Structure 1
């Protein structure tokens, strides 16, 4: 099976197992959780490998019914498994059991000891998982189990595809949607009659459209010609304005460069090239002749000198900033004070059946925060806060 392209990562991914959940499966579990306070189901999909690493692709889920609960443990009866197999064969193809899911707010049902017992009795494959929603913590978790105990996955993937099989199963769980789809075949005769009437109306409109197509073509051509004429007129107007403005600019430049009191020293020429000496700026040929006047005007040199002065000022600013940085004293990071750790007193507690580390903290401290759980795990040398066993002696720090 190929890795889906459209995926979203939830948390970190473990190297031991990569879990891919289809979006419709996650939506279905969320919907069942909101509708029912407690629900149990079976996850369906395929097991494969990606670069010698096991992968689970879950693209289906079926609710389990007729299961039994005793002292917080879930027992899958033969009738419950038969219903699961029948629904899986009816709605899904080419799938196998990849694990199960549980949504519950009962602390005994979400106890890891009971969950491991239920998992080991019903799911023997090494890579089958449990998707758990703990109503007390309002938290979603994924576990895999082996001989050493329960291992919580750090994260998983959600991928998106046209999962028609899961969609059909979700519709079958909603009676109102089923009735809506069942009424549709009975109205096919009426739909066909309406379709025929619709086609006849469309044919009449097409005939009328052909008659008026000639008139529409002529009107479109007239609109196009008028728009083109307006654009051409606007273009000629803009060109004339630019030419007038440009000639006026030339006059102003000539007067500035050659005149003493703002008067232009311009000589008109006739067709033979002789100057007429008139006060106008243009002769009969329409060309302006500028009299050369000696002067010390160097626009390019002035810009270069100004640029060089700006560059020298920037260099002075940069050098002064560098000297300030070099003169600033270096500050050393404050060192942590070394002292003897304060002595902490502990009290011992023996784990009983039905206990979790969260309920123990709630009973002794009135809170089950993550910081407190991690502190107790560190004191007792535990790697997993969710796995404790009956008879285990825990050290609990005494509060002041």
Structure 2
């Protein structure tokens, strides 16, 4: 099946060139974090994803990135050793399954924002496929240039898209290698527009969920009133029973009106009543979902940030901290199997 264009995108520069390049938001975040960690020596990342045709256009979808373990440098010349490429292939399969190495990103302090002959030679040797990608970034200014390998040369692409979607592979890689790479999903993103973009998408998803919940509540309320009406008609000749129906209607109406807050109130009350738990209580509550040594919790069916905070800490006090550490704005946006860093 032909891949569809991502729905939630923001445009960077002029995107009239071919191929169309799409970079997932977590990858964009990761590359910017590498810039923050780059001092004097060059660093880089391999770009992971897939290529293909979408609506008759050549497209490259970059959904993952792996930090380059070793970049050889001699003066202003860089190289990628064969053992580095072999390691990248293994890590790509480990973290990203069947996705392929599409190219690389180089962060080179003090180097001009341009491709020199040595860089082009390295790229041609390691990524000779048509439409493979090379990115060069300035670690201080966060400026970047994209190039696609076409016609046996690296041709500059003047614009690309950043897109947002669930990306558990990249998130898990960032969490699993946070100590080695010294970057995690919780670190601030230098590109403020990226944060604003992700928040905008989340708000849209939240509004969509709210509309869906309202529809369900409306349907349930309508069904309830129909049932009450039928009961009322069959009992119209019995005054005492009519009074009973009236009382039931009042109680049910009050119940429907308060349904939206009852569960939340119960959670808050439960959280206030229990302010602490011991380690045995935590283990019993979460089973194998929580790795205390690494501070990682794997989301289970029915979990929210509130329920996770209550299971681990005994109350709701850590909800905001969990949100901040994982770049989340709403507990309803987590999904089964997602790994969360806990404070």
TM-score normalised by L of structure 2? 0.50
Bigger CA radius of gyration? 1
Q: Which structure has more RCO (C-alpha within 8 Å, separation ≥ 6)?
A: 2
